[in-house]
Amino acid sequence: MDVPASLRRWFVIHFAVDLAFAVPLILVPAYTMHLLGWTTVEPVATRLVGAALAAIGLQSLLGRHHSVEAFRTMLGLKCLWSGVAIVGLALSLAEGAPPFAWALLGIFIAFAMVWNYYRLRLRPRHPAAARQRVW
């Protein structure tokens, strides 16, 4: 099975979006979060989120030419990351997070839909491979 060219493009898009958020979160966390509406900022946690975004985004760029097996592994990570982020953002919004959190939630939902679509599309089809877990 080949990796669809569209998925490879999504990995590059994901890299760009992740880095667009990661760099300011790492370099100027308080300034960035205040611009986005947060009044209280913990720079260590903010930089850790930036680091996670940078690492996942960079791996998307570096891995965009890898095998289908590598894509399955990365899609598993991306599905988990986006799913847990959605839960965390929803809980934060319920507790009064700034309005920009809705935009972040929308971004994570959109990426989760893309990653889950391709995860299902790339799952093994023959019986021996079906016993292997994609996660």
Q: Is residue 33 situated within a structural domain?
A: yes
Number of Cβ atoms within 10 Å of the Cβ of 10 = 19
Confidence of residue 13 (pLDDT cuts 50, 70, 90): very high
How many folded domains does the chain comprise?
1
Q: Is residue 56 situated within a structural domain?
A: yes
Residue type, 66: H
Place of tokens 């903010």: 46
Q: Is residue 29 situated within a structural domain?
A: yes
Q: pLDDT tens, 87-121?
A: 999 999 999 999 999 999 999 999 999 999 999 99
Q: Is residue 34 situated within a structural domain?
A: yes
Rg, C-alpha atoms of the chain:
16
Q: Is residue 54 situated within a structural domain?
A: yes
Q: Is residue 88 situated within a structural domain?
A: yes
Report how far apart, in Å, the C-alpha atoms of 102 and of each of 45, 59, 94 are: 20, 26, 11
60 vs 70: CA distance, rounded Å: 11
CA 57 to chain CA centroid, Å, is 8
Q: Is residue 133 situated within a structural domain?
A: no
Q: Is residue 131 situated within a structural domain?
A: no
Domain carrying residue 85: 5-125
